[in-house]
Amino acid sequence: MSEFCNGESSFHHFFKHCRFLSQTLILASQLVILLAPIVAAQSTPDRPKEEIVQNKPITPAVIPEGDRTLPVGLNINGKNVLPSINVVGKEDGEKAVNFEGWLVPFDEVIEALKFKVKELPTGQIEISSPIFKYLLSPDKIGKDRQLGRTIAIRDLNAIPGLTAKFDINKYAIDLLVPTIDRDGGTSIVEQPIVVDGLPVARPIGWGLGAIQQRTNVSGQSSSGGTAQGELKAVGNIFDANWYIKVDQPQLDRPGNWNITDGVIIRQRPQSDLVFGSQIPFWRRQSSATGTYWGGTSIWREGFTPSVQLFGADFSVNDRLQSSRVARSIVGQAVPGTLVQLVRGSQITPLQEILVDSSGIYRFDNIIVGNGIDSIFGQDYRVLIYPNGLLTANPEIRPAQFITTPGQLPTGGSALVVSAGGNRIAAGNFGDFDAVQGGVLYRRGLNETLTVGVGTAFDREVLGVAEVFWQPNNTPLQVAFSATTGKQWDILGRLDYRPSNDFFLTANTDQFSSRANANWKLSPTFTATSNFDSQRGLSVGGQYSATGSNSSTSLNAEIDSQARLKLGASQRLERWQLSSQINESATTTQLAYNLGGNSDTGNDIVATYQTNSQATATSSPYFSSLVWRYRSIDKTADGRSVWQSELGYGLNNLSSGVVAGLDLNVIPGLRLRGSYRGASENGRDSYAIELTTTLLTSTGIQGTNTAIDELRALGQVELTAFYDTNGNSRQDPGEATYYDPLLFKINGKSLKSVRIASATDSFAMIKLPPDSYRVDIDPAGHPVNYRSSIDAVRLDVAAGNITKISVPLVPAYVYTGVVQDKAGKPVIGGRVEATAMKNGTKISSITNDAGVYYLEGLEQGKYKLTISDLPATPGHLNITATSQPSQELNLTVDIPTENPQPPTPPTPPITPTTNPPTSRSNPNLFNNYTYIANPDRIGSSIATSIHRY
């Protein structure tokens, strides 16, 4: 019996061990069954067939081999809703046989699904839910004497989005049902999340969640260096979070430090309350001359906003978006600068741009996600490499986003009220020089049109108007926002995508107006045409092809002033060549991989860069040859544990060693250093950067988490432990346990949420502030253990950690055969074990061999009953010395009705009627039929276990 619970085939293992006893029982039962019709024919009067069927007892009856009535459970989206229903079907011990033809009780299933049913005058049956209506032909509904109205699985699966499957291990039909998610889309999710009455896991009332100090020392060997820094801290105040950032331009002079960000935010799906630094709704980007500080309230109805996860100021417009948002990151830099967009603390660029003569860089269509199962955006940063020198320490800037207003669902609305002032950095706390504020109302008028209107005061009275339009059944989207004043601030976007091969976009913002058309002429070639208000009209094309060991990417563009932009990338086995050229600069890189892949291992990299914007004191070119190594081992956020580079660089002013090192060996501690013996100004330089990040709310520990994410997210630590003494707390010597299958959040596995880190002992995940239901899934239980709790309400606060530690208590399994006093198996009986200490009940329905299966029993005394009748034996006493799996056969005394008076003999009747020699109380058990086949015993166990 030791392997009884060791896998999905545990039931079958058990019955293999019991084959000899089972076959003996079956042979005896067959003899009784075969003799029953003969005896009944001699002792039972002739009566109508319908009357005999209506009085059908639980005594086994002979029916033709084939489909039969089975007791199975009914699950919806993986969650049990009906412990047992009768169906007509067949299974062979491993799978359902002809499952599409199984018949299920129509009314019970429809009620469990909470579908509405209406019979139309035409005779058709209308089935409806909040997201569909479906007409069912009346000939799809059958009638069964036991089940009532029935429907076949194949016809059930024809209902939109509904899928029925049979799980032989759970012995249940599982219905996957489409429901409405928070953003109005459809997905297979659990029914409405219920958290009332559950035990609550919440963070501490207030505290410091994490703190980070970054220190940078840079300079030249001949003139010494300077030390700068940046301090960040985040925490929570009950269900709100706070954040502060302090710039330290001179680390040794605290009087020069300046608080650049300081905010308290309470974010909820339907409302936000913000005090401190933020980007107001009448601005689309942070102002270079000052920052808005104030108080803002946002009320939403009919939609859930996207989650802001990047490390910039709180933006009101981001919280008015109803789904994922494609946004632009823009900024200004000196022509010839190489600009890279990176995510979080990573170094590998997502995109890079060589700045042309316009002095503007732009990254379009950057996705910011929404919800716990979306692709989240993360703390985007921009790396600025002056003169395109990749060997230099880059200037790191936070991403400056431009947000286009988004469409709301029909009837969805948002109201914003804000008041504050403009803050200019001065001293530690800054100065306020103007009062500002405003009101905005946005509403989804219908499924095609959303409008917004508002007013604000920002040194002058401003008007705000917004329109988002998406005509039905057309590939057109239009978004427009305008802020009036002495200088109008207009932000607009038009998307037209009539096919997958052609799209047209047009954008306007404070920097320029642009239009782009892309036409895919072949699988490898796309023609492009662009208009930019600063550069004029340009045309070009893109070519890309990929093979098993190579890939090629080429793009070219020429504008109306004959300015040429070229880009090329060629990979051939271990060789990689890339080049970018515009009127201001060029950069070319050739790399050879000595071992590993594109993200790890050893590379030799040769770089050549030119800059036509160089001055008399700087070099117009730079070249270098560098060996680079990136470790295979990664941190939790995807960075190499350590990487290094060593080489030589030269230009017309200087030459020398180029070296760099990036260490992430210790969680929470990052060390970066670089030295350049050659530079654009002919002088050597060095830089050392040390960043320390600590989580503090559950004890000081290092972390690789980007601290800016905790401004909008809370962290949750999930773990379990072996509670051997049953006191619900982890004592010394009780080991920790973790399995990713153990936890489900709002019915979803941990794969659907962001894992900050996972070890053999715990998982750390990130969630937006809200209340969630965490179910403890038995699929993740260790062998011979079970959770002492089924579900927990999880309260998440941004800026802090909530910990869930699940006690796992020893679990015991009892199984056997239930018989009546005559030694016949009892079919459809409800075996129930009631804990004497707290009244908890665990039950099982016996199958057509009379077999029950009770699992999840804890140590203690239990009372045993069978359909509310006393069982023999009537009690269990499970102790620490009890075996995890045991066999226990049970007996029940089934009361009989008064016998029928003697009647004259009648001719024999067909075996299909099977009149009983004695009749049991029909209210005790469901009616089941039984096929005596020793080769199939044990293959159809109806476990259907549930807890009250």
Check: CB of residue 424 under 8 Å from CB of residue 289. yes
| pLDDT reading at 868 higher than 90 | no
Q: Is residue 299 in a domain?
A: no
| pLDDT reading at 295 higher than 90 | yes
Query: Tens digit of pLDDT for each residue in 166-211?
Result: 988 778 899 988 654 433 333 333 345 777 778 888 887 778 888 9
Query: Tens digit of pLDDT for each residue in 687-731?
Result: 899 999 888 876 777 777 677 777 778 888 899 999 888 788 888
| pLDDT reading at 306 higher than 60 | yes
Closest CA to 777 of 797, 748, 800, 810: 748
Q: Is residue 198 in a domain?
A: no
DSSP string for residues in 750-808: GGGSEEEEE-SS-EEEEE-SEEEEEEE-GGGPPTTEEES-SEEEEEE-TTSEEEEEEEE
Q: Is residue 811 in a domain?
A: no
Query: Tens digit of pLDDT for each residue in 913-925?
Result: 333 333 333 334 4
pLDDT computed for residue 181 by the predictor: 41
Check: CB of residue 301 under 8 Å from CB of residue 368. no
Task: Give the rounded percent of residues in the chain with a pLDDT score beyond 70.
Answer: 77
Higher per-residue confidence, 540 vs 267: 540
| pLDDT reading at 369 higher than 50 | no
Question: Max alpha carbon distance in the chain (Å)?
Answer: 126
How long a stretch of residues is the chain?
948
Q: Is residue 159 in a domain?
A: yes
**Cut 0.85: pTM above it:** no
The total of structural domains in the chain comes to 1
- pLDDT range class, residue 283, cuts 50, 70, 90: confident
Domain that holds residue 104: 68-188
Six token digits for residue 435: 């009062």
Check: CB of residue 339 under 8 Å from CB of residue 353. yes
Q: Which residue has the tokens 């002739």?
A: 46
pLDDT computed for residue 757 by the predictor: 72
Q: Which amino acid is at 565?
A: K
Mean residue pLDDT across the chain: 77
Query: Which residues, including other chains, have CB under 8 Å from residue 20's CB and lie 6 or more apart?
Result: none
Query: Tens digit of pLDDT for each residue in 887-900?
Result: 999 999 887 654 44
Q: Is residue 457 in a domain?
A: no
Query: Tens digit of pLDDT for each residue in 554-600?
Result: 999 999 888 899 999 998 888 989 999 988 889 999 999 887 666 67
- pLDDT range class, residue 67, cuts 50, 70, 90: low
Query: Which residues, including other chains, have CB under 8 Å from residue 903's CB and lie 6 or more apart?
Result: 44, 45
Q: Which residue has the tokens 């919440």?
A: 202
Higher per-residue confidence, 945 vs 151: 151
Closest CA to 793 of 814, 777, 770, 815: 770
3-class secondary structure, 12: helix
Closest CA to 26 of 853, 938, 942: 938
Query: Tens digit of pLDDT for each residue in 628-668?
Result: 898 888 776 667 888 899 999 888 888 889 999 999 888 88
Closest CA to 262 of 237, 285, 280, 242: 242
pLDDT computed for residue 40 by the predictor: 38
- Average pLDDT of span 137-141: 87
pLDDT computed for residue 19 by the predictor: 42
Burial of 42 (0-12, 13-18, 19+ CB in 10 A): exposed
pLDDT computed for residue 519 by the predictor: 92
Q: Which residue has the tokens 């092809």?
A: 545
Higher per-residue confidence, 307 vs 543: 543
- Average pLDDT of span 405-423: 87
DSSP string for residues in 687-706: EEEEEEEEE-BTB-EE--S-
Query: Which residues, including other chains, have CB under 8 Å from residue 110's CB and lie 6 or more apart?
Result: 117, 127
Query: Which residues, including other chains, have CB under 8 Å from residue 931's CB and lie 6 or more apart?
Result: 63, 65, 68, 848
| pLDDT reading at 376 higher than 60 | no
Higher per-residue confidence, 33 vs 342: 342
- Compute the distance between CA of residue 898 and CA of residue 319 in angstroms, rounded to an integer: 73
> Residue 25: in which H helix or E strand, if any?
helix 19-43
Q: Is residue 118 in a domain?
A: yes
| pLDDT reading at 312 higher than 50 | yes
**Which region among 71-75, 217-221, 750-754 has the lowest average model confidence (pLDDT)?**
750-754
Q: What HEC string does 521-564 produce?
A: CCCCEEEEEEEECCCEEEEEEEEEEECCCEEEEEEEEEECCCCE
Q: Is residue 171 in a domain?
A: yes
- Compute the distance between CA of residue 275 and CA of residue 836 in angstroms, rounded to an integer: 54
- Compute the distance between CA of residue 109 and CA of residue 165 in angstroms, rounded to an integer: 14
Instruction: Check which CATH number belongs to the domain holding 87 and give it.
Output: 3.10.20
Task: Give the rounded percent of residues in the chain with a pLDDT score beyond 90.
Answer: 20
- pLDDT range class, residue 816, cuts 50, 70, 90: very high
- pLDDT range class, residue 928, cuts 50, 70, 90: very low
Q: Is residue 204 in a domain?
A: no
- Compute the distance between CA of residue 791 and CA of residue 771 in angstroms, rounded to an integer: 13
pLDDT computed for residue 938 by the predictor: 30
